[in-house]
Each structure stands twice: as structure tokens, then as C-alpha cells.
Structure 1
Amino acid sequence: MDSVVTASSPVLGKPLVHFGKRVLERTASGAPSSDYRRLGVHPLTPHIGAEIDGVDLSAPLDAELADELKQALLEWKVIFFRDQHAFDAESQLTLARVWGEPEPNPFFPKTATAGVSRLAKDADSAGNKNIWHSDHSFMAAPALGSVLRAVDIPPAGGDTMWADMAAAYDNLSAGMKERIEPLTAEHDWVHSWGAMMTADQIATHRQSLPPVEHPVVVRHPRTGRKLLYVNEPFTIRIVGLPEDESRDLLHELVLQARIPEYQVRFRWQPGSVAIWDNIATQHYAINDYYPQRRVMERIAITGGPLS
């Protein structure tokens, strides 16, 4: 019998209500517990998101401290830091290299510091829509993670949310897990980023960014834990399924990121920094601060092919 039972909406016919407890494991079953000597770790939920203290991110990191940061990210999937007022773009690049080489987003505006992208929304753009997503899933080797720092934040609003896609996978029914285990999905950027481009701009980007395929269920490249790897803007179809079946299945799977039990929400303050695991999570930047201004700078970290 399936371990998860759902009721259906009489209107939509889609799973709506979850009966019984959810499986909300911070790490894979049987993984050893972590011991931090240099960091203070303060969970924001039991399984995703923790604020970290005891570290100045603008100062050089020794090997032990870097290892503890890497372990904290694997354990909590997104980690947050407060009062990092001396943390600038160069510090951000140095920190990102704890995990790997910086990877520019092909569509974001660049800054004077190579590898750093600026995400600025003001009165003309702050009301633009956002959506749950995983960065760079439209690339053959999606970003492993990201480092984001607050540059200019509104007096209220502008929070960011992250969803734990291991929890999303864990809570699928046994029947759904069996169904999607062998499947792959096509990811593409044209329906999202391309909506803001001319035909010539799309053709230019298409030369280096063709559609790619990833497994619907991937194993995390560093923990081996199974994750649901589909997202609303970039996953466009399930390979090999009829169009209607692909659409219905994909609709059900992408909605898993919207379940509050899988999420953590972070309120930005001056000097705040977030680092997230881009394979294990999806994120959503909340656009509720119009007409105020919000400016962030982000570095993505190069990843590898998923399996």
C-alpha cells in the first residue's frame, strides 16, 4: 500500500489533502550526525534552513572552518548569515570558491566584479512575477549552489523562500516514486527568459543553450540522496510520454515545491548573506515590496551533469 494518502479536489481532481505525518528528514536516513566546533547553527525549521554565527565571511577561512561550512550546507540545504557588513563582492567570490568555480548566469546583468550578477528591482520592475525554480536547470551541468548578499533591501517585504526537494521526493507515494524513477525531463529557457527577448536574441542564445534533459529523480552529487528535479519555468515536458500525460504528471510534480512543510522563509536585513544548495532546493523571491527598491548580488557555483 502507498505510504502517502491524499484526497482529491472535486474541481481539479488533483491531490489536495495529505493524511498522516510527513517525512521531513534533514539528511538521508543513516547519515552520521554533524559536530560543529567553530560554527553556531540555529535551525529555522527542523529540516531546511539554519542561521549560522561565529564566522566573519569577509575574513580568510581556514580549512577547518571551510569544511564546517560545507557540512552545514549539505545538512541544512540553505544557510544564512547576519551582520556581514564588511562582506563585499570580492569576499563573495572568495567564499563561493569554497564550493567551486563561479558560474555567470547568461541572462543576468553583470557587475564590475567578474562572476557576480546584480538582481535589481525598483519601482518600474518590482511588481514582476516570480516562480519556484532551480537556477540553471536549463544547462547541461546546472549550478551546484549560489551565494546571495543583500545590497539594498526594502523596509518591509522582499523575503526569499526555499523548498526542500528531498522532502518533496520522500513524501511522494510509493506508486508515484516507481512511476517517475526511470523518467527524464526536458529543460529549456525559451518559455521564461525568452519571453523578454527578440527572435534574434533567442537565436543567438540558442546556439550555446539548446534544450537539455535531466532525470526526474536525481541523486545529489555529494550526498547521494534522492531528489525531485523538476521546476515550473524550465521543465517543459516529460520525455517519451504523450503530451496530455506529460502535462498532467509535470503539473503534479512541480506543485510539490509549493507545500509549506517543505519550505523555509528568510527575512533579509542589511548585511545578510544566504548560501543554498541549488540541486537540493528550489527558491522563490517574493515580490511584495512595490514600489520600494531591492538590490541583491549573486554568484552561482559551477556544478556537473546530474544522474
Structure 2
Amino acid sequence: MASPEVVPLKAPLGARIEGLDRADAGRPEIASLLNRALGEHLLVIVPGERMTPEQMRGFASAFGRPKPQVLRYKRSGTVPEVSIMVSTLMADGTTDKTALRSEDWHTDDSYLATPAKATLLHSIELPSQGGTTWFCNMHSVYEALPEAVRRRIDGKRAIHSYDTSRARNRPSRRTAQEVAETPDVEHPLVRTHPETGRKALYLNFNRLDRIVGMEREESDALLDALAVEARKPEHHHGHAWSLGDIVVWDNRATMHRVDVDYPVGEARVMQRVLIEGDRPY
């Protein structure tokens, strides 16, 4: 049996997995190959056919333990580790606010003490055009910063909140139980990848509220300056979706966002799985 091939993209991050039977993802040697590719390339694209939530959970297990997301209303009823992400733009104005928040750069789960290691997104329904998902290599962002800036931010910590005034759009409302599960948390501004040892700038424009030990004005100015580097296209790759794609990204060293430029009323539905991670350091 031929082994799948990891084909690096001509981009700042990413690789495509060719020749993979997704049913084999749980085999130790295949899971090892997938996780090595994720750590090295930060973004893994696996083409194929549409999967059921049960199949999606099984495939995701190759990357670690799937975990349910905080917002209960997004969970698939029969498979709670799989979320159904509907980002269809509705003509009547009822579009889920989380679809619009996805326009800005973010990393998943940073408002939790132990954010997700990785996210898997699987396309189930796609609009006729638009909806590219963009990814940012936060290793290269950190490495591109001037030495004086890196010295200034190394060792600094920051507060991540479910919502922050710095975000452009407000998130979905939480139930009382979900509020209790999501107090503000503190993370390093520069985190070290536990598998490769490389440093990455740990930003989230939707959740990062302020730098510990700084007045708001100074904190905002520094975060804005760091955002300038993260927004530079030399750190980015855009994935144009095909039906059935599974895209896996490493939340420990990437941010992502989506172009909300697709036609109103055309369905855009994804299945999403989060993989348990470790406390950032």
C-alpha cells in the first residue's frame, strides 16, 4: 500500500496530503505522518468526499482528542465533538454573528486556559463563489519583528477574553453556564511550539484584550503595531474551498480569517472539530 504524500504549498505555510484514504487516518504510521506535517507546515489540506459527523470525528482523532466547543447551539446533536458551522449570509439579517467575526484574524479557543491544539474544518455546502479562508504563519510574523521589538515582548503576558472592545464585531451570546466556563485568561504574548520549539507571536484580534502590566493606551499601541506585521501578505496563504475538503490548522502558531464575499442566500456550511491542546508557555 502506497503511503500518502505530503506536498508543500508554494506559500508561507501549508501542505496538501495526496493519496490518503481518510479511513486509514487512525493507523499509527498515518497519524504520525499527519501530525508531523501539521507541526512542520502548520496547515494541512486533505481533499476528498463529504463525511458524516461520525466519520469526521473518527478522522479528527488522528490529531488528538476531539473536544466539544463552548457554544452548545453549534454542536451536532448526535456527535457533540463536531460543530455545524453555518456562515450563510441571510437576506433577512439573521446571519449568525460568529460568521461576521470570522472576517478578522483570530486563533481558536484563546479565551480558554487550554486552547485547542488544532482545528479541522470540512466543507459540506459551499456558495458558488467567494469564501476563501486565509491563514497566517505566526512563526514568520514573530521572526520578522525587529530585534528590539522581540526583546520588548518576550516574557510579556496578555489577557484574552470571550469579548473585548478591541474586536470589530460582538460574539454570540452565551448561556449562564457558558459564561461560567469562560472567565478571562492570561497567556504569553509569545508562545513556544511544544513540538518544534519555535516561537510564535500569539495574537487574536477578536479575543486579545490587553497586555498585563501596561496601561490601556500603551497596550493598545503595542498590539496595534504587532498587528501591522501580522496583516502583511507575505505571511499569508488563502485556501479556495472545494466541496469535501478537510483543512487542518495548528492554532499554536497560526491565525485565520474568512472572506465574507460570497452571495447572499447561498448556503455555506462546514463541520468543525477542535482538538484538545496544552496550556501555552
Match of 1:58 among 23, 33, 36: 23
Is residue 2:20 matched to residue 1:48? no
Q: Which residue of 2 aligns with 1:105?
A: 69
Deviation at 1:290, TM superposition (A): 2.8
Aligned pair in 2 of structure 1 residues 203, 251: CA closer, same or farther (>3 Å)? farther
Query: Within 2, Cα distance between the matches of 1:123 and 1:305?
Result: 35
Match of 1:244 among 203, 217, 222: 217
- Secondary structure in 2 matching 1:128: helix
- Please tell me whether the aligned partners of residues 163 and 262 of structure 1 are also in contact (alpha carbons under 8 angstroms): yes
Deviation at 1:300, TM superposition (A): 0.3
Aligned pair in 2 of structure 1 residues 180, 202: CA closer, same or farther (>3 Å)? farther
One-letter identity of the residue aligned with 2:104: I
Aligned pair in 2 of structure 1 residues 249, 202: CA closer, same or farther (>3 Å)? farther
Query: Within 2, Cα distance between the matches of 1:86 and 1:290?
Result: 22
Query: Within 2, Cα distance between the matches of 1:247 and 1:275?
Result: 31
Aligned length: 267
One-letter identity of the residue aligned with 2:241: W
- Secondary structure in 1 matching 2:23: coil
Say which one has the larger Rg.
Answer: 1
Match of 1:116 among 82, 105, 116: 82
- Please tell me whether the aligned partners of residues 31 and 63 of structure 2 are also in contact (alpha carbons under 8 angstroms): no
The TM-score normalised by the length of structure 1 is 0.81
Alignment of 1:201-212 (within 5 A): 201=174, 204-212=177-185
Q: Which residue of 2 aligns with 1:76?
A: 41
Structure 1: runs of 5+ lacking an equivalent: 1-36
Aligned pair in 2 of structure 1 residues 178, 303: CA closer, same or farther (>3 Å)? same
- Secondary structure in 1 matching 2:218: helix
Detail structure 1 runs of 4+ shifted over 6 Å in the superposition: none
Higher helix share: 2
RMSD: 2.0
Alignment of 1:1-307 (within 5 A): 38-59=3-24, 61-82=26-47, 84-85=48-49, 87-107=51-71, 109-111=74-76, 112-124=78-90, 125=95, 128-129=100-101, 130-191=103-164, 195-197=171-173, 201=174, 204-291=177-264, 292-307=266-281
> 1:60-86 CA deviation, whole Å, 9 max, x = no partner?
54221211111111111001122x115
Deviation at 1:188, TM superposition (A): 0.3
The TM-score normalised by the length of structure 2 is 0.89
Structure 2: runs of 5+ lacking an equivalent: none
The percent of aligned pairs where both chains have the same amino acid is 32
Q: Which residue of 2 aligns with 1:7?
A: none
